[in-house]
Structure 1
Amino acid sequence: MKLKETLLQLEALSDEKMRAQNIRQGSGDNQFGVRLGKIRKLAKQIKTNNALGMELWATSNIDARMLAILIIQPKSLSADELSDMVESIDFSRVADWLNAYIVKKHADKEMLRIQWIDKNNPWLARAGWFLTAERVVKQPDGLELSALLDRIESEMDEAVPEVQWTMNMTLVEIGIHFSNHRKRALAIGEKLGVYRDYPIVKGCTSPFAPIWINEMVSRQN
């Protein structure tokens, strides 16, 4: 499948309500407004296609980038190529898909985590904290959790929204999975108040750290 043909297929799937929703959530105008389920369906038809995926990514179109994420193999990207992709992001939903489907599966993710977490670019830092939250859960050995909590306590309140989201994820994962750090994680969440008044859809858990931590711990028990 060629780039032009793929873009025409995406455009044919456009939905004005989805487009409006994206704009409310901070997207720009370079999009068709395709519902995520339809992007997934198209990706299944295309299957893996690294070359097309990179062409789609280069358009900066939101829907094209979402599709690209699903058809690119993480192992096909060098660390520098992946860094360039992350740095070029301009919409949180694209960032979250890239982190979930490519970044966390990349062979060099630990090296990149260390590099990205201190970057001034908010999307690199968001990805760095995303990988830190994942490592807290899956491979915590070697992480200095107390030092991470120190940093979150001193920086999260003033962090830009893009970075604040995954810093908060890290705080929550520490509180959920490490009972010896839970009291402090809860206290940091209460002290900073980040996401305390976040609007919640019925049936979803608040991202406010004390609520999120307590809810997940109660499910474990």
Structure 2
Amino acid sequence: MAQAKTDVPTVDELVTELAALDDPKIRAVNEKHGDDHGVNLGTLRAVAKRVKTQHELAQQLWATGDTATRLLALLICRPKAFTVDELDAMVREAGTPKVHDWLVSYVVKKNPHAEELRSRWMTDPDPVVASAGWALTADRVVKHTDGLDLPGLLDTIDAQMRDAPERLQWAMNTCLAQIGIEHPVHRARALDIGERLGVLKDYPTSPGCTSPYVPSWIGEMVRRRGE
């Protein structure tokens, strides 16, 4: 009996396809933000939609180390299938900001070990790994704060955010803003910290977009809610 034909592409086929989609203009823009790929993300998502969920294939794609290929891997994997040790290793080798962000947002947040990793990563000596812990904490500030010490988080942000490396600073800044937006009892202190530290105060913001400067960010979101 003839074997049924499989439509699952190989790693080599996908690597070749993504290489052909690389646009030098997109790559030049991405490189300004620390990302070394030139594939349009909408096109990348279309490839993922065609391939569908293929966890074993995703693991093989991740192992290539190529940025665009890893982004595809994160779109076709099964987030709940990764072990805690696999995710810990992945966040340490993610490399570029986009891979790091998608790994945390699309995979770690959906994994049953997310809380364990959040606690582990928050105090990691590697600031990029620590930024993943702070990103997960910001998500918890919005969704469920049971067990979170919000005054303690504000103390840490107040003491460390101004001098933190860029990606860690950004994640801590996001956490500060979310505390001020979601928890009115802590809003005045969040605003005070944001004003005193002045982090991202001069960050260029496109028209119609909300500034990441915490006093502006909190003020705009509170205004939209009519609070």
For these two proteins, the number of residue pairs brought into alignment is: 218
Per the TM alignment, residue 48 of structure 1 is displaced from its structure 2 partner at its CA by 0.6
Unpaired stretches in structure 2, ≥5 consecutive residues:
1-8
Percent of counterpart pairs with the same letter? 48
C-alpha separation between the residues in 2 aligned to 1:44 and 1:179?
Answer: 41
Establish whether residue 6 from structure 1 lines up as the match of residue 14 from structure 2. Answer: yes
Structure 2 residue identity aligned to 1:172: A
Picking from 102, 105, 112, the partner of 2:110 is 105
User: What is the correspondence of 1:167-186 to structure 2 with a 5 Å cutoff?
Assistant: 167-186=172-191
Q: Name the SS for the 2:99 alignment partner.
A: helix
Contact kept, 8 Å, 1:89 with 1:123, in 2: the verdict is no
Aligned-residue Cα RMSD (Å) equals 0.9
Structure 1 segment 46-57 matched on structure 2, within 5 A: 46-57=51-62
SS in 1 for 2:130: helix
The DSSP-based 3-state class of the residue aligned with 1:158 is: coil
Write out per-residue CA displacement over residues 132-191 of structure 1, whole angstroms, 9 at most, x where no aligned residue.
001111111211111100000000011111111111111000000111100000010011
Distance 1:58 1:126 in 2: 23
Q: For 2:114 and 2:203, how far apart are their aligned partners in 1?
A: 30
Aligned counterpart for 2:68 among listed residues 63, 68, 74: 63
**Equivalents in 2 of 1:163, 1:148: separation in Å?**
14
Larger Rg: 2
Q: Which runs of 4+ in 1 moved over 2 A?
A: none
Select which of 160, 163, 167 maps to 2:168: 163
Alpha-carbon distance between aligned partners in 2 of 1:138 and 1:21, rounded to the nearest angstrom: 33
CA contact (8 A) 1:175 1:185 kept: yes
- Tell me the distance in 2 between the aligned counterparts of 1:18 and 1:73: 28
Partner of 1:150: 155
The corresponding residue for 1:17 is 25
Whether the 8 Å contact between 1:116 and 1:128 is mirrored in structure 2 is yes
Aligned with residue 146 of structure 2, among 138, 141, 146: 141
Match of 1:131 in 2: 136
Mapped to 1, the partners of 2:128 and 2:112 lie a distance apart of 19
2 CA distance for matches of 1:165 and 1:65?
A: 23
Q: State the distance in 1 between where 2:180 and 2:171 align.
A: 14
